[in-house]
Amino acid sequence: MDASWIDSHIHLFEHGYRRDRPAGAELTDYQQLRTTHGISHALVVGYEGDPALAGNNSHLVRLAAQHDWILPVRHLHPHRGLAPAAELAETRWAGVSAYLVDDEATEAWDRWTDREWAALPDGSLVSVNATTDRLPTVGAAAARIGLPILVSHLATPPAPGPHSTVAEALAPLASLARLDNVHVKLSGHWAMVAAGWTEPQLQESTRRVLEAFGVDRVHWGSDFSPCLAHHDFATATHPPGIEDLSPAELADLRGGSLARLLHLPPPSSSDRTPT
């Protein structure tokens, strides 16, 4: 790869993901990884679902004002509606993130009206963390709105059992491929490993997602810094199942497609340091 990358999914917390780091240490760590791996931009997904992480949106606003490589994604609590999204027009937000992690959040998301969705500025994206059983709600929203919806971590599907297949495990996600505005982040493989996925199954899952959505709607993401509790960052840059992709396909997966989606300049090789 001779092009710089765009990371579709990272987090930056003032005192770290586990709240055990000095202020700014996580940012410093990622800055170093950017230099090493030639990452030009990153979607920084806000998260305030844990009371201990309240204020992450404000933290990202401050960081984005200082670092133009940061593309902040504002966390919205589904039960509060999309009203705060009016602030997106006043701040350099790339979009909003929602975590459909329980029935309350999923039902609240389902109640968002077309008028609320229309409040999002043109060009906004929607980053969604949702398990496979909640994907029908995501699909219903995607069918109503024109904004790109990026499903994180392949929706962390349950591992295939002894009498099921990878195709069956991915069927809820693959069913959304018919909707042109649904994209997938190829990220969070550590969580799939923790759920029991084997390396061959992970490889097949990547191939099947690429077949269903096409490389123009699948975007590499590291899931920094949660991934570092399970493997090093270099491992996160090489998700299983991409070995047979052509150089052009790899370039799209690692940033080209996302650059087009976000109307960014094409990734350049000028700032890449060989790894």
β-partners of residue 98 are: 128
For residue 119, give its domain range: 5-262
Burial of 13 (0-12, 13-18, 19+ CB in 10 A): buried
Q: Which two tokens stand for residue 127?
A: 């980053």
Return the HEC string of 223-256. CECHHHHCCCHHHHCCCCCCCCCCHHHHHHHHHH
In a domain, 81, yes or no: yes
Q: What is the CATH number of the domain that holds 142?
A: 3.20.20.140
Q: Which residues lie below 8 Å from residue 51, measured CB to CB, with a gap of 6+?
A: none
Lowest mean pLDDT among 82-96, 196-210, 260-274: 260-274
Confidence of residue 115 (pLDDT cuts 50, 70, 90): confident
| Nearest one of 156, 148, 143 to 196, comparing CA atoms | 156
In a domain, 191, yes or no: yes
pTM (2 d.p.): 0.93
Confidence of residue 121 (pLDDT cuts 50, 70, 90): confident
Q: For 254, phi and psi rounded to 5 degrees? A: -95, 15
In a domain, 236, yes or no: yes
In a domain, 268, yes or no: no
The single-letter DSSP state of residue 6 is: E
Lowest mean pLDDT among 50-59, 73-82, 93-102, 258-267: 73-82
How many folded domains does the chain comprise? 1
β-partners of residue 210 are: none
In a domain, 161, yes or no: yes
pLDDT per residue as tens digits for the range 194-248: 999 999 999 999 999 999 999 999 999 999 999 999 999 999 999 999 999 999 9
